[in-house]
Each structure stands twice: as structure tokens, then as C-alpha cells.
Amino acid sequence: MSITFPRKFAIGGVPVTNIKEGLKSLCRTSDPGSFVGLRSVFPTLIHGSHALEIASLLGLLDDERSELTSTGRAVAHSRSVVKTELTKARAVLDQLLERFEAINGESDRLISINRVYLYGSVMRGDPLVGDIDLEIEASRGPAYANDLQGYLRDCLSFVRRFAPNYVPPVYMAESDKAMDHLVFGQRRAPILKGAVINVRNLSTIPAPCQLIYTIQNGIDRNAPILTTHPDYDPAIETSHEIPRLASIEVPNFGIPEPVDARFLSKFHRSGRVLAHDFGSPTSNLLAWLLPVHERQSSTLKVHVSSETLDPAFPKRGGLTDDLSPKGTIVLTAEAHRSELRSFMKLERTVNMIDGALTLDLKVCDLATLQRRRTDEAHTNSLAVVAAAIHVADRFHAVALNKAGDNYPIEATVTTASSVPDAIGPLIQQFGSKISGSLDS
């Protein structure tokens, strides 16, 4: 039993297939930067950041966002399928059970179908189901109980009726192939992909199930639903890394938070912001804006903790106090060929005001740490990065809002009295350009 989603299913505006690819990348690397920076899936880091936030809200990532939770692993290995009406699924199941009766009715049968357990969405009676989850217990037919070699010989002969050139790749492979063909026919129906033969996973997980067929008593569609498989023992540890989950609950996302600002640096420890991480300058406006406004060769960084700030930056106006990935952050720019250093302190909040969501980016401080230099030495490049963060917060909030309460949204940029008045409009100007490129 695995999680299945309808084709083109999206959560918070993100296709589940995109979330799956991001999870698989993070699983390989233990690096959330590989998730947000997956260019084959996400057009920009802003799209990737939103998807990462959705994954976190769904409980698919641990607190550090470096490992998948058990639910995250289940989603990473989920399938997107066309959902089938319950009545049609039950009709397919009925035909399969009748097939089992016919198999067991033959005295010289190659295999016996001993027990069949039903679990998952069909057992629960969900109106729409992805597939039929069955655990089928089968064995050699009575005539072969003490004749393994004769059984394998006849299995191979049976398989070669429909695959004349078949050669077993490993020992007893002909048995599995013959059993699969006898149980499901030459072509298994897609809705039966959740059915397994002699795998015995159900006895290792605490999943409800229903014994709907036995060789002794035949079909029992009204069998009681058991809390777990009779052989399940919670004290026994298993090696199954992928949980067998039938579904996940999509929560009401509520009022969104700002995104984790570390997406700008692809979660690199240094916080370094690189223009080429955003994509090709020919197709991505943000990647084009940064080099244009970096008039001096400089290093841009985003800081969500005072620990990453260079000691040369003073504790000016609480510069290193109360920094957090989703709250107050500091942007810095440092020229490579001089000691020119600039910083911009940003405070990000989301509030409900008069029935509307207000996303505010406040520039609390802006300064350049070198004599005979104005505070505007790195202003444009810092403003581009600030705009990208503000756009990401709005992009995330709008997507969640559409999937939830659909409140009016207002995005504002404000400045402290010590910051030049022109900074707010400059960030808004860059933000409009970046937003426009996301929508196009």
C-alpha cells in the first residue's frame, strides 16, 4: 500500500510531482538547497522555496529540513494515478476473487490461492480509489507439495506458452512469473498495481485489513475489518524504510508565515547569494538584475543568525539581535578589492489587518562601513535581494491563500526614519519587475 494522488494533483499550488522530485533530491543530498535549486522542476528559487515551505507544512521534512520524515519518504515514493470510482474498483475485485475460486477448483492446479487480505482505500470504502491493495498468499498446487523440481519444470513450461524464449534470470524466477500470470492474467489491470503476492508486508505494519478470501471458506466480502494483520507484532523491528501509508491529510494552512530567507543562498552555510543560482540571465529577470546593479565586484550574503556576520559589522541598532530565517534578517555586500562593506537590516511580518493579510518588509537600517562613502554604495544590489525576498513571501502567501481562506492580500515596504526615503520605492520597483517575470 502506497500513497496515490490523482493526476495533476496540487497542494498549495504546487504539483505533487514537483514536491516528490524535490524530496528525492533532498533525500540524496540531505541539503534543502538541492530542493529549492532543482532547475529541472522549479523555474526559479522562489518557486522552489514555496514548494519547500509546503513540504514543511505537510510534515514531510524534519526541523532542520535536511532529512525526510517517514511521511516524507512515503510521499517521495508515491504514485500519481487516475482515480477510479469505488463501484468500478469493487467490480474488478469481484472478478479477481471469482478467478481465485476457479483456480482453486482445479485438482491439478499449478498454484493454490490460500488467503487474500484487502486493505487501503477500497476496504475503507473511499468514493474514489487509486488502486486495490491486496496481499495474496499463494503456494504450490497439491500435486507439487513434495515435488519442487517438477513444479519449477511445469512453471517454466506454462510461462513459455506466452513467452516462448523465456529463460529464468535467477533460481525459481519461473515460479514468480507463472504465479503472477495465473493470478492477474497476461496483462495486469492498472488498478491492481497495489496487489502483491507472498510479499507479507502487511504483517509488518499496523494497518487495518480484511480477510476476504480463504481456500477453505471461499469469498467473504463482509468479513470483519481487523485492526492489524493477525501476524503483526509491534515488538519486531523491520527493515521497511518506506512506510505503507494510504493517504496524507492536507491541513488548513491558515495565515502564512514568511518563507525561510536562506533559500536565496540555497541554504549554504556562508549565506552567499549568487546570481547564476537563480537561472539563466536570458530567461530569469532576477539573475539579470543582480549583475546589472552590482556595479562593483562584491559578495552578497543573507544572514539569519548573528553567528554568520563578520565581526567588523557593529552591533548597530540591534543589527545582530533577534535574527531568524522567517523574521528579521541582515543582508551584506562586501567589495572584493577594498574594505567597502554595506549592510541592510530587514524585518518581515505577516499580519491580519481589517480582514486583509498584510505582508510588510521593513528596512530597519542601511549603512556603508567606509569613510567618504555614501550609504548608497551597495544600495541597488541589496535592494534587489530584498525585493526577491519580499516577492517570495508574497508568492508563497498568495498561493496558500488561494488554497485556503482567500483573504485580500497587501504587500508593503516601509522604512525606518534613519533610512533614505528612496529605498522603499526602489525595492518596490525591483519587486514589480521580479513579480512580472514570475507571472509571465
Whether residue 278 lies inside any domain: the answer is yes
Please tell me whether residues 68 and 91 are part of one structural domain. Answer: no
Domain of 363 in residue numbering reads as 261-439
| Count of domains forming the chain | 3
Whether residue 417 lies inside any domain: the answer is yes
Least-confidence region, from 139-143, 290-294, 303-307, 316-320: 290-294
Please tell me whether residues 290 and 427 are part of one structural domain. Answer: yes
What is the number of other CB atoms lying within 10 angstroms of the CB of residue 55? 27
Please tell me whether residues 133 and 222 are part of one structural domain. Answer: yes
Residue where a domain terminates, one of 29, 48, 81? 81
Please tell me whether residues 288 and 342 are part of one structural domain. Answer: yes
Please tell me whether residues 272 and 417 are part of one structural domain. Answer: yes
171 Cβ contact list (under 8 Å, min separation 6) = none
Please tell me whether residues 69 and 166 are part of one structural domain. Answer: no
The pTM of the full predicted model, rounded to 2 decimals, is 0.71
In degrees, to the nearest 5, what angle opens at C-alpha 16 toward C-alphas 239 and 62?
Answer: 50
Whether residue 386 lies inside any domain: the answer is yes
Residue-wise pLDDT tens digits, 92-144 = 999 999 999 999 999 999 999 999 999 988 999 999 888 899 999 999 999 99
**What is residue 439's predicted lDDT score, i.e. its pLDDT?**
64
Please tell me whether residues 94 and 76 are part of one structural domain. Answer: no
275: its cell numbers: 546570481
The CATH number of the domain where 99 resides is what?
3.30.460.10
Residue-wise pLDDT tens digits, 38-68 = 988 998 889 999 999 999 999 999 999 999 9
Residue-wise pLDDT tens digits, 154-185 = 999 999 999 999 999 999 999 999 999 999 99
Distance in angstroms (rounded) separating the CA atoms of residues 345 and 296 = 21
Please tell me whether residues 310 and 331 are part of one structural domain. Answer: yes
**What is residue 407's predicted lDDT score, i.e. its pLDDT?**
82
CB distance 408 to 397 below 8 Å: no
Please tell me whether residues 331 and 293 are part of one structural domain. Answer: yes
Residue where a domain terminates, one of 175, 209, 226? 226
Please tell me whether residues 307 and 339 are part of one structural domain. Answer: yes
345: its cell numbers: 537590516
Parallel/antiparallel/unpaired status of strands 356-368 and 409-415: parallel
Please tell me whether residues 289 and 434 are part of one structural domain. Answer: yes
Please tell me whether residues 208 and 308 are part of one structural domain. Answer: no
**DSSP classification of residue 259:** P
